[in-house]
Amino acid sequence: MIGVLFIFPVQVFTVSREGTVIDAFIYRDQINFSVQWKHSVEKEIWEEFFSIEGNDITMNSTRFKTFGAGVPSSAGTDTYVKDGWVYMVGINREIGEELAIRTGKDTNYQMKYHNDRLKLDAQTSYHIQTDKVSFSKAIFLMMR
């Protein structure tokens, strides 16, 4: 019976740094996370909010303090200001099974999921991926 549990497939959400898994979570149906950084020109915090349903990553919304070059005046289904933040919600942009991030020199990237924050190293490539793996492999990934 225990052997069957170890081959049972589960969905995992992994964060890799330059090809090495540094964090992993088992999730069921859906998980939410965000990526936050300091804009390199405006020096203000930006944050994008994502969800994973099944194996598909979707960007749902974003928030930031100031508009800059290249920022649309609106995106998604609604744009509003609350507590000094500009929110653009209902974006629902499908990313796929992998989100690639390249951090800047002084951008202070971090990921937030569950109640955890993962600080991302400067000038480094990261990949956020979804996959279906055996329970035993998921446990191995989470213990790294």
Q: DSSP labels for 94-110? A: EEESEEEEE--SS---E
Residue 37: what pLDDT? 93
Query: pLDDT tens-digit profile of 45-96?
Result: 999 999 999 889 999 999 998 876 677 777 889 999 999 999 999 999 999 9
**Polymer length in residues for the chain:** 144
In this model, does residue 2 exceed pLDDT 80?
A: no
pTM of structure: 0.86
Return the closest-CA partner of residue 38 out of 105, 88, 101, 98.
105
